[in-house]
Structure 1
Amino acid sequence: MRTRPALSTISAFALTSALALLGTASAGASDNEALDGKAGSQDPAFTFAVVPDTQQEVLDVEDTRFLNRMQCLADNRARFDLRFVLHIGDLTNWGWLVPSQYAIASDGMRPLEQAGIPYTIAIGNHDTRAVGWNGVDGYGGSAYAQNPECAIRFSPEECDTRKLVMHTEEFNAVFPPERFAQVGGTFEPGKSDNLYTTYRAGGRDWLVLLLELWPRAEAVEWAKEVVAAHPDHNVIVNTHSYLAGDTSINQTNGGYGHTSGQYLFDELISQYDNIKLVFSGHTGIAGHRTDVGVHGNVVHSFLQTFHSNTTNPVRLVTVDTRKGTLETSIHGPYTGETLAQYDVDLSGIDWE
């Protein structure tokens, strides 16, 4: 791993220096050639961004960290050859109960939309009706099923975390499938809980597979059909929880969801040789692990969560399909930080 200097400015994200350090080779390409996101761009190097849990950034309308991150990415799209953005989930904290949280998140994503940068958002437990209790009164980040008002708002039978986590109506009202660009299909009509998008970058085809939190077995079966139907795409799995804080694969679901990270690995991730990357959050801080699937395929999984109260971390991932490399670092544009202890440089990757 390399040590990289801290970002020198907040407003510009110091991206020119960061690009050189990340090894991006797109500086000589025209913006149209490098950024069209469609077949025809053959530059082998490009970047995508991964946004960790933002639940701490939507509690105060005066907090500008969410918007700051997305505006920095949008403003420097050409410098990065930034092709797409993944959000790990927990977009809000208990936004289904406090609409201003979704308003902050919705407005915060606008710079990407205006810049033409496609993105996906995995749904976290905090983006469902499963969360909304502070243990005393009012709302907070614990299970809403324990909130005395739950049985009043819903039936007592419905006040079950495994049932409430499936209620994503508020998320889908703000982020329906049609708000995301280049969606190839959804598991359930009109719902963004499970969907996939496709891109062309680095002279290769890419598929981002977005899955609900600890997905239902039937959602995993749908995902298997999607991956099998796209054998020539490099598949990136985007789901809220897959790795534990120590970067082991999750063995349980903490009372939320229906399966586990291990189930997802056993049934999906390990079974297809074109699944290359997995990104998740939910717990811990950040980390990386490598696993080998049944076909000998190497899968690199990354954790990025942070729950920062001071800055707005974002993971930058630069891929070079010609060199077979991936380089990633984490930056906090709001404070100008570079968290160099989480740098990862990989080589020998067989991009499809």
Structure 2
Amino acid sequence: MAVAVVVAGGTVGGGAIRTAAADATDTKFSFAVLPDTQQEVINSSDTRFLNRTNWLVRNRSALDLRFVTSSGDVVNWDTPDHAQYVTARSAMRPIENAAIPYALALGNHDTQAPGVGGPVRDPARELIRDTTVFNQYFTVSQYRAVKGQFEAGKVDNSYSTFEAGGAQWLVLTLELWPRVAAVNWARNVVAANPRHNVIVVTHDYIDGNGAIEQSAGFGATSPQYLFDNLVKQYANIRFVFSGHTGIAGNRVDTGVNGNKIYSFLQTFHSNSTNPVRLVEIDTAANSLRTWIYAPHTNRSFTEYDRSFSGIGVVR
């Protein structure tokens, strides 16, 4: 039975490097969202994933980086020696060593549903919930800031908190096409933390055109179900990040309480570089700026730069 378990717990693309203020009056900070990294772990000699995390650590002060998350498909498929998990785990070690809290959402490729080479195996609906290997390589102790889990011993559905910009933040990572019970657990988490600005991260939510996905795939509920039953229902939900399909995109919705909800896609499936989405929040200006930068090739994807004001930070 699923229960909530509380646990203890260079050049910058899109703008010039700035040094974070040393006092409490600094209201700007950032967090990073990794896209689908599955193409970066197939060969152990591929250094793009590690290059990205090393870059984030080197630029931590310049970005005032407070959190790192991922929209899933961290690996491509499992093998008997779990080689792709080893590569991904090693790539996240700089973040861990720098004591930056993080949380990775799980995609379909992070489960036992895909076989070697990627084909979906049967029974897919059961295998997509088999995340045993992922949970061997990524744990709440490594994530550092986890405050609760839907299922004990599993990071598939968990939430982490941090403070930044004079506000409280909650990062809620949800399994792909989540079970109804997982969505209900998430509703309880958000309702119990009304003074936190909530960042939802799940693998499939919007497509490259910014439309909310309608299919539940071989999961339990659709992204539209997630929007209707969680995302739009709470005044403190601010952002949703996803991957899985398309390249990059965004949309803005209005929740039932009149709050704006900013959703962003970053998938890429790159074979040549290593994009990362940076999100800068200015709580004094009540604004956000986001851009995508690839340190491996020093490339800025300026076509995806976005800025919004009046985002409604909860204090």
Classify the TM-score, shorter chain: over 0.9
Give the counterpart of 2:203 among 240, 243, 250: 240
Deviation of 1:110 (Å): 0.5
How many residue pairs align between the two structures? 305
Alignment partner, residue 9 of structure 1: none
Alignment partner, residue 170 of structure 1: 133
One-letter amino acid of the structure 2 residue matched with residue 141 of structure 1: G
Give the counterpart of 1:142 among 103, 110, 119: 119
Deviation of 1:20 (Å): 3.4
Find the aligned partners of 1:96 and 1:62 in 2 and give their Cα distance.
17
Give the counterpart of 1:50 among 30, 33, 39: 33
Find the aligned partners of 1:178 and 1:69 in 2 and give their Cα distance.
22
Alignment partner, residue 142 of structure 2: 179
Find the aligned partners of 2:296 and 2:269 in 1 and give their Cα distance.
14
Deviation of 1:18 (Å): 4.6
Find the aligned partners of 1:319 and 1:205 in 2 and give their Cα distance.
12
> Structure 1: where are the runs of 5+ without partners?
1-11, 34-40, 133-138, 146-159
One-letter amino acid of the structure 2 residue matched with residue 86 of structure 1: T
C-alpha contact (below 8 Å) 1:96/1:127 kept by paired residues: no
- Misfit runs of 4+, over 4 Å: none
> Structure 2: where are the runs of 5+ without partners?
1-9
Find the aligned partners of 1:54 and 1:257 in 2 and give their Cα distance.
21
Deviation of 1:62 (Å): 1.0
Alignment partner, residue 210 of structure 1: 173
SS where residue 310 of structure 1 aligns?
Answer: coil
Matching of residue 340 in structure 1 with residue 288 in structure 2: no
Deviation of 1:76 (Å): 1.1
Matching of residue 230 in structure 1 with residue 193 in structure 2: yes
Deviation of 1:178 (Å): 2.1
C-alpha contact (below 8 Å) 2:280/2:288 kept by paired residues: yes
Deviation of 1:246 (Å): 2.1
Deviation of 1:115 (Å): 1.0
Deviation of 1:19 (Å): 4.5
Alignment partner, residue 8 of structure 1: none
Find the aligned partners of 1:28 and 1:43 in 2 and give their Cα distance.
7
Give the counterpart of 2:64 among 81, 86, 90: 81
Distance 1:98 1:261, change over 3 A: farther
Alignment map for 1:1-352 (pairs within 5 Å): 12=10, 14-15=11-12, 18-20=14-16, 27=19, 29-30=21-22, 33=23, 41-95=24-78, 97=80, 99-132=82-115, 139-145=116-122, 160-254=123-217, 256-352=218-314
One-letter amino acid of the structure 2 residue matched with residue 140 of structure 1: G
Find the aligned partners of 2:107 and 2:265 in 1 and give their Cα distance.
14
Q: Which moved more, 1:174-183 or 1:120-129?
A: 174-183
Find the aligned partners of 1:215 and 1:245 in 2 and give their Cα distance.
21
Find the aligned partners of 1:237 and 1:310 in 2 and give their Cα distance.
28
Find the aligned partners of 1:164 and 1:245 in 2 and give their Cα distance.
27
Deviation of 1:293 (Å): 1.0
Find the aligned partners of 1:242 and 1:142 in 2 and give their Cα distance.
22
C-alpha contact (below 8 Å) 2:72/2:107 kept by paired residues: yes
Quick one: percent identity of the two aligned structures?
Answer: 53
C-alpha contact (below 8 Å) 1:57/1:63 kept by paired residues: yes
Find the aligned partners of 2:27 and 2:254 in 1 and give their Cα distance.
25
Find the aligned partners of 1:205 and 1:81 in 2 and give their Cα distance.
16
Find the aligned partners of 2:203 and 2:81 in 1 and give their Cα distance.
21
C-alpha contact (below 8 Å) 1:47/1:319 kept by paired residues: yes
Deviation of 1:142 (Å): 2.1
Rg: which structure is higher?
A: 1
One-letter amino acid of the structure 1 residue matched with residue 272 of structure 2: T
C-alpha contact (below 8 Å) 2:20/2:63 kept by paired residues: no
C-alpha contact (below 8 Å) 2:203/2:242 kept by paired residues: yes
C-alpha contact (below 8 Å) 2:14/2:302 kept by paired residues: no
Deviations 1:121-163 (A, max 9, x none): 001000001111xxxxxx2122022xxxxxxxxxxxxxx1111
C-alpha contact (below 8 Å) 1:96/1:128 kept by paired residues: no
C-alpha contact (below 8 Å) 1:96/1:170 kept by paired residues: no
One-letter amino acid of the structure 2 residue matched with residue 127 of structure 1: D
C-alpha contact (below 8 Å) 1:207/1:236 kept by paired residues: yes
Find the aligned partners of 1:340 and 1:18 in 2 and give their Cα distance.
7
Find the aligned partners of 2:25 and 2:238 in 1 and give their Cα distance.
20
